[in-house]
Structure 1
Amino acid sequence: MGRMLSFSQPAVLALAVLATPQAVGAEGFPNDLAAREDAVALEPLAPWNLHFGENKCRLVRYFGTQDEPHMAMLEQAAPRAGFGLTLAGPEIRSFHRAPSIEVGMERDEPLQRRERFGSGDVEQVGKALIFPSYYIGPARAEGAPMAAGIDVKEAGTIDRIVLERRGRVLSFETGNMGQPIEALNICTSDLLNVWGLDPEQHKSYFPARWLNERAVVGRIQASYPREALNRGEQAVFRLRVIIEEDGSVSDCHLENSTEVDRLDSPACRSMMGAKFEPARTADGEAMRSFYATTVSYSIGS
């Protein structure tokens, strides 16, 4: 059973068209755009709610009005620097079918153009934009150890989530995200305990490196279920494997982030043949760890 902390779980996303997002530079900072007179600002309806699941953590907040609620959801299936971001509600209709959207969070970073993203519907909320992998903060320096989880210091520079398209600005007025992200990190650290891994080791470590990624990904792509292809079914899955000290895969879990009735992903069957250079402690010792990624099935992607 998953543990719940002041949380009413949102409806599962229905049929989504998903692909890995690509970012290119754009002008404009979140706070400056949100201050425009014609910007639409969505104020919170309730506090952030955190769901402690067995294999994922969700941070959810509702915005707008009782008659026209909107939702922002951050989701992780493992303690990573990135997270899945879903924004939903009536105002999303203006962005739903756009070929590209400017998105930004950090007050000191300009919005970035996302040219490929997912779309769908959230029951009782409305149209949704789905960004399977959203990252904040600087990239990890080459050769330096990392800490599992989202950069809390960088999260402290976020006061809102801003979308812009053709001059139209929509702002989810989140408030400072430092404390909510810290709570999300606690939840994903708990996942490490559930999986039999050591959270202390993951506070400073060198992550596992996938050695035969191209071959395994090719098998996954080639085995897209033909029946699902014929029906045009498209979906996103969050995949996580446990990697032993010798680099072998001992367990695989696939979490379906969208509701697709008949699409049975072969990803885990293929991942059991994946080969990794094992994760290492800050002192260079091999350690049991995990590898997490997102599998997006999208026709024509």
Structure 2
Amino acid sequence: MLDRLSLIALALASAADAAQAQAPLAPSSSWNVDYAESECRLSRTFGPADDTTTLRIIRGASLKAVEYTLAGKSLKIRDWNYNVLLRLGPDGTSHKLPVLWYRLPTGEGALQIIGENELRPAEIASTRTLSVELDGAEPLQLAVGSLDKPFAALNACYDDLLTSWGIDPTKVRDLKTAARPLNMQSWSIFENIWASDAAKGSKWMTIRLDVNEIGKAQTCKTLASSGSAELDAKICAAAIKKARFVPAASASGEKVGAPFVLRIQMRE
């Protein structure tokens, strides 16, 4: 019969074996920056060719936020998970973030993680591994390596995108927090019936709202049209009338005016 010390030693050995078995997945492609129409995507695949996991880091309409998406055959849909722990190694910096599970048309499982704020420069410089920890599953660890150059390329893309929207990237970087929408479903800009007025095949439109320091939209500009000037004008008018926000905050915490970019799906 094993004594107490033997049981402790066995437990430690098992933990060490488990840690070794959970070695980070090695990259199977180079980083790629995709200049998409309304967002910038930094992508890389990890793991063996027959079971790769794709990591995509996205910056777009949510000015200060970063979206992390993971997809792969080995990812299992877990509807009970509402949060994940995104951990950056080797220093152990971690972020508790909301998660959304869904399934791709290919049948692969995928999860979407939204970080309300971008990573700090010190985190980017020191990160070598990225892990996602979920209830009821082993942590998924990726050997991302140094993120300095990949994030520099992503941020250069994003600066170009913001500039194309008429937004000064420097002013966005200087914000502590971006404007946060309140009760969006009451804005009356997501009406399904409007889809019939959009151009055939049009699935999305994008608008820019200039939000003042008390959280009200003062102006609206169409960045990507629905295909109908009349519909664009209706949606902008409704947004200016009803859209409300928690205003953006400066680096010192003061409420300030700031732009807000919103993509609207033309749903039939």
Scaled to the shorter chain, the TM-score interval is: 0.5 to 0.7
Contact kept, 8 Å, 1:40 with 1:170, in 2: the verdict is no
Establish whether residue 217 from structure 1 lines up as the match of residue 184 from structure 2. yes
Q: Secondary structure at the match of 2:169?
A: coil
Match of 2:41 in 1: 58
Inter-CA distance 87–243: structure 2 relative to 1 (3 Å threshold): same
Match of 1:130 in 2: 112
Q: How many residues align?
A: 226
Amino acid at match of 1:271: A
Match of 2:26 in 1: 43
Q: Find the aligned partners of 1:48 and 1:66 in 2 and give their Cα distance.
A: 16
Contact kept, 8 Å, 1:162 with 1:170, in 2: the verdict is yes
Contact kept, 8 Å, 1:34 with 1:169, in 2: the verdict is no
More off after superposition, 242-251 vs 45-54: 242-251
Greater per-residue helix proportion: 2
Match of 2:86 in 1: 104
Contact kept, 8 Å, 2:63 with 2:172, in 1: the verdict is no
Amino acid at match of 1:134: G
When the two chains are superposed, the root-mean-square deviation of aligned CA atoms in Å is 4.5
Q: Secondary structure at the match of 2:57?
A: strand
Match of 2:136 in 1: 166
Contact kept, 8 Å, 1:54 with 1:194, in 2: the verdict is no
Q: Secondary structure at the match of 1:117?
A: strand
Amino acid at match of 1:62: T
Match of 2:239 in 1: 271
Q: Find the aligned partners of 1:208 and 1:128 in 2 and give their Cα distance.
A: 27
Contact kept, 8 Å, 2:29 with 2:46, in 1: the verdict is yes
Contact kept, 8 Å, 2:207 with 2:224, in 1: the verdict is yes
Q: CA deviation at 1:152?
A: 2.6
Inter-CA distance 52–38: structure 2 relative to 1 (3 Å threshold): same
Match of 1:190 in 2: 160
Match of 1:73 in 2: 56
Q: Find the aligned partners of 2:164 and 2:17 in 1 and give their Cα distance.
A: 41
Match of 2:125 in 1: 156
Contact kept, 8 Å, 1:39 with 1:171, in 2: the verdict is yes
Q: CA deviation at 1:117?
A: 2.0
Tell me the TM-score normalised to structure 2 length. 0.63
Which deviations, in whole Å up to 9, do the C-alpha atoms of 1:41-75 show, x marking residues without a partner? 32111111001123210111011122222200011
Contact kept, 8 Å, 2:24 with 2:129, in 1: the verdict is no
Q: Secondary structure at the match of 1:41?
A: coil
Contact kept, 8 Å, 2:126 with 2:146, in 1: the verdict is yes
Amino acid at match of 1:162: S
Please point out which of 178, 194, 199 is paired with 2:169. Answer: 199
Contact kept, 8 Å, 1:102 with 1:111, in 2: the verdict is no
Between the aligned residues of both structures, percent identity stands at 20
Q: Secondary structure at the match of 2:24?
A: strand
Contact kept, 8 Å, 1:92 with 1:127, in 2: the verdict is yes
